[in-house]
Amino acid sequence: MNTFTTKQIVATGIGAAVFIILSRFAAIPTGVPNTSIETSYAFLAFMAILFGPITAGLIGLIGHALKDAILYGSPWWSWVIVSGFVGFGIGLISSRINIEAGGLTTKSILLFNATQATVQAIGWILIAPVLDILIYAEPANKVFVQGAVAATSNILTVGVIGTLLLVAYANTRSKAGSLRKEV
């Protein structure tokens, strides 16, 4: 039975705090209302690979909900749910990438980027706009444009910054079997 470890609890709290800070201070407006280029999703994807789906899902949910509450007065639940979905979805491949073993391969980078692009496209182009319409009665043309812009910017941001974070982290890990006992 997998239990939620102290390490995962700490990672969730720190991860949510960093998500909030990045969303507040490292976001670039796109010109589309309430839609920014968010570096926080690169960090979320990085944490998803390090800690797995549950931790990353909680980082996305808690971080986005608190960010919205602080910046706008209340959470925008449709997008909060998608942030949790994105963290969870990317985290599902964490065991296949096994970054702690060191030596991030081209294959694992491709898997990471194919997964993050697919999960974000589903989340931002499909789930977020549909929930905006169902929960908030938002106009379809507005929310589908916002979703497409969010998906595109997040996929690119995670593709560049998220990949760089993974490569940098993998380079700090010893490759499995790389240490030899001196005789």
pLDDT digits (tens, 9 = 90+) for 93-144: 999 998 888 768 999 999 999 999 999 999 999 999 999 999 999 999 999 9
- Whole-number Å distance between alpha carbons of 95 and 54: 13
Q: In the beta sheet, which residues pair with residue 28?
A: 37
Q: Are 29 and 39 in contact (CB under 8 A)?
A: no
Q: In the beta sheet, which residues pair with residue 37?
A: 28
| Mean pLDDT, rounded, for 29-57 | 94
- Domains along the chain? 6-170 (1.10.1760.20)
- What is the model's pLDDT at position 37? 93
Q: What percent of the chain has pLDDT over 70?
A: 93
Is a pLDDT exceeding 80 seen at residue 176? no
- What is the model's pLDDT at position 133? 97
Average pLDDT, the chain: 93
The larger pLDDT score, comparing residue 92 to residue 180, is at 92
Is a pLDDT exceeding 60 seen at residue 80? yes
- Whole-number Å distance between alpha carbons of 52 and 93: 8
- What is the model's pLDDT at position 101? 80
- What is the model's pLDDT at position 183? 64
> β-strand 36-38 against 27-29: which pairing, if any?
antiparallel
Query: Which tokens in the block code for residue 103?
Result: 């030596």
- What is the model's pLDDT at position 58? 98
- What is the model's pLDDT at position 121? 98
